[in-house]
Structure formats: structure tokens, C-alpha cells
A and B are shown apart, each in its own frame.
Chain A
Amino acid sequence: MTKQLPKVDVILVGFGWTGAIYAEKLTAAGMEVLALERGPWRDTPKDFATTFAQDELRYYWRHGMFQEASQSTVTFRNNGAQTALPMRHWGSFLPGNGVGGSGVHWNGQTYRFLPSDFVAKSHNEERYGPLPEGMTVQDYGVTYEELEPHFDYFEKICGICGTAGNLRGDIRKGGNPFEGPRSDDYPNPPMQMTFSQDRFEASARDMGLNPFPVPSANMSRAYVNPLGMQLAPCTYCGFCEKHGCGNYSKSSPQTTIIPVLMKRENFTLRTDSEVLSVEKSPDGTRATGVTYIDTSGEEFFQPAEVVVLCAYPLENTRLMLLSDIGTPYDPQTGEGVVGKNYCYQVMSGATVFYDEEYTNGFVGAGALGMAVDEYNGDNFDHSGLGFIGGGYIACYTTNARPIESHPVPEGVPGWGSEWKQSVRANFLKTTTVGVHGASMAHRSNYLDLDPTYTDRHGRPLLRMTYDFTLNDRRLTAHITPVAEEIARGMGGREVNVAERKGSYDSMPYQTTHNTGGTIMGTDPQTSVCNRYCQSWDLHNLFVAGAGLFPQNAGYNPTGTVAALAYWSVAAIIDQYMADPGPLVQA
């Protein structure tokens, strides 16, 4: 029997970055907030201690911080003609689990999307004519200018380290000249770059490009954020991505927001509590609350005035489909919206092998890098190129964790003596120039419920149908040679290029930048949420996360995810509280 619990003002489903952001703002505004987190409690001193955080096997290869696939996974296929099969363990991407979510095991690369990224359809059509058949790229419904104060605030919460390239229209040397106008500089100076970035910077400058330090949530110095949270200087240990930071040096919900929130009497967190569905009023116009299950297997109905989906994008989409909210997307007709426009990233790169110089890749940090943005978004003329969008090119020194990272030159076998000796010869003498490419929405890439496979509660798994599109392939074919040219200018013995060819492969790790499925937009016929991230169907249901992106830009998503959360929660507090109802009339 389902137990009925006392009503709260707001339920947050999931407690990572967006959950912490909504909770902090809503409790500050006086609301009674309850967060339900499927995974366990986690904190810095206890769970990411520097005496055991640097454990590559445990945290990456045995998936110590991620959702266990046995809890729930996705089924995957490249196209609708194939039978989707479950990802029996994670590979290409790594959904988080537990308090802090993916915000614990991220790298800290904190970009803002370009102004044109938010109006990708109208901007590109105005400049290049109609989008091709099948490309379902849309506008966000919110502009960069509207989000700018929220980008700025999140950068201050995190203490992002960087160099402004465009301060209120003033283009600044050493920053990214293509970024949208910023109302303020970064709160902290860039990280100290190391050998590989110096070589990248020199090579890129020789080519007439404008290299800039990657905006970093790994601290370049001690910092106190607007909530009074103290962050410590990064020690460049290189265990960022896939690991928690025991040094209070990487911004995460734990280091920037949660300790403040835990002191507020109107905030409650229940861990080990998995939401099964969002419940609706009989007339279908409002969410009444959520049904969740705890580790004893007991079910609870938790009523609330407002429900915010703050889980990972894949799980948010699945929850909406399981809860029968909104019309599921149909790739045959192109109608329906939930599960539409699933996108990812298109990654490629070039590895530089040195003979004499040591890159010492173990001296690194998740966001220690230099990048160029000349080939991102619409920063270059796409006329006649046959694609839109782009990507940044960057040289990061993020790790030399040797199970994951032991590059050998082309032609060396994959095992045996020759392989072993080549690993030794090259382990400390390589670096990579990577392309982090956009993924444009296409009619054939989407999420729905799997007809065969179920989770431990008997609910259908989410089914992912995805492959790289013609746009993706042309994009990577155009930009990868630029990365190669930069790499060749960095003075190594040889350069190996990893082009993006063949179908998308669900197994080798690429990025945890899954987007779409609960997209925002200007029209309920083509989007799940309106410009305030509010469900078109249930006015008291809001959705957070990269599932809102109508298509994926050529950047890491966290900065934009956070800005959208701050934008949305401001709308709840400033508009919705005074007059609950649709904030945009359909």
C-alpha cells in the first residue's frame, strides 16, 4: 500500500547541480522544499578523502560514483531498423548517482554557449537559408542576454577561473573574442598552464588563432563564494573526471551550495528514495506529487504544489514517459515531443608524441587547458560547407591515469612486448588536441521506452536510438584537420589523428553530455517545456538539465545547465508564486 506523506511546497526529483540550485533559491524565498535522491548521501571529507580518492580502478573502471546499470540502464541502437539492446555496463557516458550527481565526477570545464546557439534555427536560417530536411534544430525560446546574469552568478558560485574575452562589448586580449558579452570578469584568474598548453598556444597563435584558457571550476587560488563557501587552490593531481575531489578544489554541489542548504530548516533531503512516477490531477492540468520507493521496497506518495525534475536528462525523459506526461515523440510522423531531439557530441582529436620533451600528463586538472573557438558555433562562415554548428579545439592536461590513458603510435599492436615497450616510451611524452563538436538534432535520433527490457521495478528501460548525422560527419571532417594542423605545430615527433568515422559506438568513453528528450522551445507542438523550463502540459511541473537543450552546442554543458536552472527558478519565485499557472500562453 502506498503511504501518503504530508504535502510540501516543492519536490525536487534528483539532487545534483540543478537540485542544489533550485533548493537554495527556493528555500531562500521561504518555500518548504523536499529533495528526493535515488542514491546515497555523499560528502567531501568522508567519501572523497585524499587518502583514497585517487583510485582509478574503483572510481572509473568499477564505476564507483555512477548509477549502477543493475539499477537502471538504457537500451541502445544506432537506428530504428535495429533491435535495441541494454548497455549492460556504462561506456560512452557515465550517469551519476547519489548526492551531487554528475556534478561530483565532472571535470569542471565551464563554458557559456554562444548567443547564436540559443537561436540556432532562426540564426542559421537567416544567414544560410532553410535547414535541410530532417534536421529538427530549434530555438530555445530564451536568449543569451536573458541568461547572462545567471551565467554570471553560477560562475561566482563556482569561482570559475578564466580570462574574459568580451567584457560588456570590450574585446579583451587573451580571452575568447567570440564569447557573448559578459557583465563581469571571471571571479578568479586562469589556472597555471603547463607544457602542453604552452605549445598549443604558440602553435595556435602562429596560425592566427586566438587561444584562451578554458574556464575552469578547478581553483587557481583560494576563493570564497557568495554563499560563504570556501574553495581551496587546486593541486593539479589530475583525478577530476570520474573522481570526487577531496581537496575542496573542484566546484561541486558539495563544495559550493549543499552545506549552506543543509542548515536551512525548510529544506529536507531524503536519500535512497527513487521516484517511480509523477502523479497528475484527474483533469490532467497539474502534477499532484510523486510516487517514490525507498530501500525497504515501501512506496510513498509525496504530494507537492510544485514538482521539479532535476534528475539526469535520460531519467527525466523516462520519468515523463512513464508518467504519461506530454505526447511521446514519434519518429515516423515527426509529431509528439517527449524524447525528441536526443543529441550528444562529436569528438575527434590528434595525439602528439614527443621524443625529448616530457608532457608529464599526471600533472593536470580536469579543466586545465587552452582552447580556440574560431571553429565553434557560427564563428566562421559556413557558406557552401553543408553543415551548421562547430566545436572548440583544445589541449587539456587532465590525466595520465594509466589504465585509461596509455597512448601508443599507429601501427603498434594492441598487446605483447612491442605494445608494452611503446607504452613505456610514450606514457609521459604525449598530449592530445581534441575537437569537442556540436550535435545537431535530427528526426531519426530520439528516446522512447523500450518494448522488451525493464528495470528492477518492472518499468520499461529508456531506449536510445542514435547515430552521427550527415551534419555531424561534415562538421568533424571540416574541423579535425585544423586540430591536426595545430598539433603538427606543437613540435612533436609524430601526430596520430583520431577521426570520427563509422557509427556512434556506445562503449568507449566519449563524454557524459547527453542532451534533449525534454526540450524547451516556443511552441507546445515542438517542445516539452516553455522558455521558463515549465511543462506545457502541467503548469506546476518544471524540468531542469541538459534535456532542455533543443540540440547540443560545441561546448561542455554544465554552465548552460546551471544558467537555465537559475533562470527557471527565478521565474518560479518572481512570477509563478504570485500567480500560479502557465508562464507562457500556448
Chain B
Amino acid sequence: MSFPTRRKILKSLLFGGTAIAAPSAVFGAIYGRGEGMPWEPLKGQPPYYGTHEDWFFTPDEREAVAAICARLIPSDGDGPGAVEADVITFLDRQMAGFYGRGQHWYMKGPFREGTATQGYQSEHPPAGLYRHALAELDGYCRAQQDAGFAALSAAQQDEILKGMDDEEITFDGVSAKAFFDLILKNTIEGYFADPIYGGNRDMVAWHYVGFPGTRYDYRDFVGHNGARIDLPPVSLMGRPGWNSSE
């Protein structure tokens, strides 16, 4: 990009600016100078939703993570859980993408254990924390029960998760509590996020709690006065009922 192209230097009321040298190239984009709003077609960023080629977990890891999610948000008689919402697919794509890599996070050292008020201080980005913690969890389960986490009974799984949550179970090298907090947060994300990210399949979690999703006009409903509003949810992909296949 060259500069200036058709810039009109205005004589200001106060200062007579003197040009010294025009640069040959400037990488930051330049806007304005009377040219109006620089709308360009197809320049908006569609959401990044990951792809099936992005699988991060090994088969064993995937089994363990799916089992953890299934206890955090169980399938029960009341409604769908993490299994029906396919939270494992969400987590796999997230870990394979920029989030798992900690690409937007500050990951420079030194790494120190912080106070509870200082937040995440693991040297590992999310995917790395999962990988290390899952290996530790597997070792713990095999030492205690001679089986991986996924093979244990629901009661045994709950006990282990509670032990991690309450900091009674600790791992070597990584924090079991930090991992528990992260996977719980990510599981809730996958349960309630838009289905484009792989979880909340068929908007089951939105149906379950009564959230209408990504609709953007409720003007007719503001005066509901405490009555229930029944609107089937819509996702960024629309609704299944709007597709000709259904």
C-alpha cells in the first residue's frame, strides 16, 4: 500500500505542518481522508467452528473426557446431558484450535503458583493441561482401581471428580483442581454454546432450559408480564425445521 496516494493536505487553522519524508510502505491499513466507510464484500469474519480434521484427543483421552463430561452434566430422566449434547466433539475441536493452543493468552514465563485471586497460572495452554492431567488421572485410576476413568462406575467417577474439585486428589506436575475447573467451564460452554461449535447438538440444551438461541428481535414479547414465552430455539445455522430435508 502506498502513501500518500491522493491525500489532500489541508492547511490547518493553527499549525503549518511540514512534510519531511513520505514512507515507501505502511503495513497498517489506512482509512479516511474523505473516502468514506471502507466496506468491502466478504471481508467480515465468519465464526470459526473447527473441522473434523482437527481431532485433538487420542482415543483413550476421548473416552476419558467423554466420561468426565457425562458426570459433570449427566443424562438423566429430566433431560439431555453432555452425551446427548455431544460435548466431547465440542471439546475436541476447541482443544485442536486456537483456544487449546492458548494462542490468545499470555503464555510467557516465569510461571509461578499464584493466589486464588490471580487466575490461571499453568505453564500449559488448555490443550496441554488436558493432556498432562488426563495422563495423571489415568495413572491415578489404574493405581486405585486397576482401570481407566471411563471404566469405573458412576459413583466411583463422581468420587474422583469431587476429590479433584475439593483438592483432595492432587496430580504430579499439573494442578488437578485447575484441570477440574477448566473442564467444568469448557463442558458448560459446549453444552450451551451455539451448535456450530460441535456441542449443544440439535440445540438440545437450549430446548431443555427454554432459551430461544440466536433470535434477535423480541419487541413483541417485552410486555410478557411474567408469562412463559414459548419460542423454539434458532441457532446461527437456522432451525432444522427450515431445511427441506426435514
**Which residues of chain A are near B23, meaning CB under 8 Å?**
3, 5, 300
Q: Cβ of A507 < 8 Å from any Cβ of B?
A: yes
Q: Cβ of A194 < 8 Å from any Cβ of B?
A: yes
CB pair A45–B216 under 8 Å, yes or no, is no
CB pair B193–A273 under 8 Å, yes or no, is no
**Which residues of chain A are near B217, meaning CB under 8 Å?**
235-237
Q: Shortest beta-carbon distance, A315 to chain B, in Å?
A: 15
State the CA gap A258–B38 with chains docked (Å).
Answer: 11
Q: Shortest beta-carbon distance, A501 to chain B, in Å?
A: 13
Q: Cβ of B188 < 8 Å from any Cβ of A?
A: yes
CB pair A363–B222 under 8 Å, yes or no, is yes
Supposing A62-B99, A198-B225 touch, asked if A46 and B44 sit within 8 A by C-beta, the answer is yes
A6, A73, A271, A421 interface centre (most CB from chain B within 10 Å): A6
Q: Cβ of A58 < 8 Å from any Cβ of B?
A: yes
State the CA gap A77–B221 with chains docked (Å).
Answer: 45
Supposing A76-B118, A269-B30 touch, asked if A52 and B15 sit within 8 A by C-beta, the answer is no
Supposing A362-B211, A362-B218, A416-B72 touch, asked if A4 and B20 sit within 8 A by C-beta, the answer is yes
Contact check: which of B110, B225, B228 meets A452 at CB < 8 Å?
B110
CB pair B104–A54 under 8 Å, yes or no, is no
Contact check: which of A56, A85, A194, A577 meets B223 at CB < 8 Å?
A194
**Which residues of chain B are near A40, meaning CB under 8 Å?**
29
Q: Cβ of B74 < 8 Å from any Cβ of A?
A: yes
Q: Shortest beta-carbon distance, B125 to chain A, in Å?
A: 9
Supposing A9-B15, A198-B225, A295-B28 touch, asked if A265 and B10 sit within 8 A by C-beta, the answer is yes
Q: Cβ of A512 < 8 Å from any Cβ of B?
A: no
CB pair A70–B37 under 8 Å, yes or no, is no
Contact check: which of B117, B210, B225 meets A504 at CB < 8 Å?
B117
Contact check: which of A9, A41, A49, A262 meets B14 at CB < 8 Å?
A9
State the CA gap A502–B27 with chains docked (Å).
Answer: 47
State the CA gap A403–B90 with chains docked (Å).
Answer: 14
Consensus secondary structure, chain A interface: loop
Contact check: which of B17, B27, B39 meets A298 at CB < 8 Å?
B27
CB pair B32–A89 under 8 Å, yes or no, is no
Tally chain B residues at the interface, Cβ within 8 Å: 98
Q: Cβ of A414 < 8 Å from any Cβ of B?
A: yes
CB pair B218–A236 under 8 Å, yes or no, is yes
**Which residues of chain B are near A91, meaning CB under 8 Å?**
119
Q: Shortest beta-carbon distance, A258 to chain B, in Å?
A: 8
B7, B105, B221 interface centre (most CB from chain A within 10 Å): B105
Within 8 A of A (CB), among B184-230: 184, 188-189, 192-194, 197, 205-206, 208-219, 221-229
CB pair A233–B219 under 8 Å, yes or no, is yes
State the CA gap A30–B16 with chains docked (Å).
Answer: 12
Contact check: which of A9, A358, A416 meets B74 at CB < 8 Å?
A416
User: Among A126-134, A422-430, A477-485, A562-570, which stretch is in contact with chain B?
Assistant: A422-430
Q: Cβ of A268 < 8 Å from any Cβ of B?
A: yes
CB pair A505–B22 under 8 Å, yes or no, is no
Within 8 A of B (CB), among A500-525: 503-507
Within 8 A of B (CB), among A524-547: none
Supposing A57-B197, A271-B31, A363-B218 touch, asked if A402 and B205 sit within 8 A by C-beta, the answer is yes
Supposing A363-B221, A505-B117 touch, asked if A402 and B105 sit within 8 A by C-beta, the answer is no
Q: Shortest beta-carbon distance, B147 to chain A, in Å?
A: 22
CB pair B14–A305 under 8 Å, yes or no, is yes
Q: Cβ of A69 < 8 Å from any Cβ of B?
A: yes
Contact check: which of B12, B165, B219 meets A235 at CB < 8 Å?
B219
Closest residue of A by beta carbon distance from B48: A58
Q: Cβ of A142 < 8 Å from any Cβ of B?
A: no
Q: Cβ of A383 < 8 Å from any Cβ of B?
A: no
CB pair B19–A294 under 8 Å, yes or no, is no
Within 8 A of B (CB), among A1-56: 3-9, 29-32, 36, 40-41, 43, 45-47, 49-56
Q: Shortest beta-carbon distance, A306 to chain B, in Å?
A: 8
State the CA gap A88–B18 with chains docked (Å).
Answer: 44
Consensus secondary structure, chain B interface: loop
Within 8 A of A (CB), among B104-129: 104-108, 110, 112, 114-121
Q: Cβ of A281 < 8 Å from any Cβ of B?
A: no
Supposing A265-B8, A363-B221 touch, asked if A402 and B211 sit within 8 A by C-beta, the answer is yes
Q: Cβ of A459 < 8 Å from any Cβ of B?
A: no
Q: Shortest beta-carbon distance, B76 to chain A, in Å?
A: 5
Supposing A89-B105, A91-B119, A262-B36 touch, asked if A6 and B28 sit within 8 A by C-beta, the answer is no
Q: Cβ of A86 < 8 Å from any Cβ of B?
A: yes
State the CA gap A580–B14 with chains docked (Å).
Answer: 10
Contact check: which of A5, A89, A258, A415 meets B73 at CB < 8 Å?
A415
Shortest Cβ-Cβ A-B pairs, 4 listed = A357-B226, A6-B19, A265-B34, A273-B28
Q: 14 new A-B pairs (CB below 8 Å) besides A270-B28, A406-B188?
A: A7-B18, A52-B47, A52-B236, A70-B105, A85-B118, A87-B106, A264-B34, A266-B10, A296-B25, A298-B27, A305-B15, A363-B218, A420-B74, A420-B79
Identify the B interface with A (CB < 8 A): 7-10, 12-15, 17-23, 25-40, 43-48, 71-74, 76, 78-79, 81, 98-99, 102-108, 110, 112, 114-121, 158, 161, 165, 184, 188-189, 192-194, 197, 205-206, 208-219, 221-229, 236
Ordered by A's residue number, 17 sampled pairs between the chains whose C-beta atoms are within 8 Å are A31-B12, A32-B9, A40-B29, A68-B104, A70-B103, A70-B106, A87-B106, A194-B222, A236-B219, A236-B222, A246-B216, A262-B38, A358-B228, A363-B218, A363-B229, A416-B71, A506-B118
Identify the A interface with B (CB < 8 A): 3-9, 29-32, 36, 40-41, 43, 45-47, 49-58, 61-63, 68-70, 73, 76-78, 82-83, 85-89, 91, 192-195, 198, 233, 235-239, 246-247, 258-259, 261-273, 294-296, 298, 300, 303, 305, 354, 356-360, 362-363, 400, 402-403, 406, 414-417, 419-421, 423-424, 427-428, 452-454, 503-507, 577, 580
